[in-house]
Amino acid sequence: MENPAFRLWNRMFPYVSSVAAGSDGMLYASSLGHGVYRIGPNGDWKAMDEMWPENVTVNRLICSGSEVTACTNSGLFTYKSDTC
């Protein structure tokens, strides 16, 4: 059976640049030109616009402890979260 959350991602973003899994079941994904998104265990997702400057391309995500770190075309950015 196909998971509806994956079908939604496939339609919204043609190119996912990185995915990182949090220890609590959250999934973080970045798409070139579309920022970073957090997907919950139930398939709900949220844009994390508050943590990224405009015009930043995320190449890689790393989730460790309570931090999500992104390697971008403008350097490294770290977001501290209770959900990672």
pTM, full prediction: 0.73
Which residue positions in the chain have pLDDT lower than 70? 1-14, 51, 82-84
Task: Domain ranges for the chain, please list them.
Answer: 4-80
Do 58 and 35 contact (CB within 8 A), yes or no? Answer: yes
Q: What is the CATH number of domain 4-80?
A: 2.40.10
Q: How far is CA 80 from CA 14, 31, 43, 48, 59, in A?
A: 28, 20, 22, 12, 19
Phi and psi at 12, nearest 5°, equal: -80, -40
Identify the pLDDT of residue 61.
Answer: 93
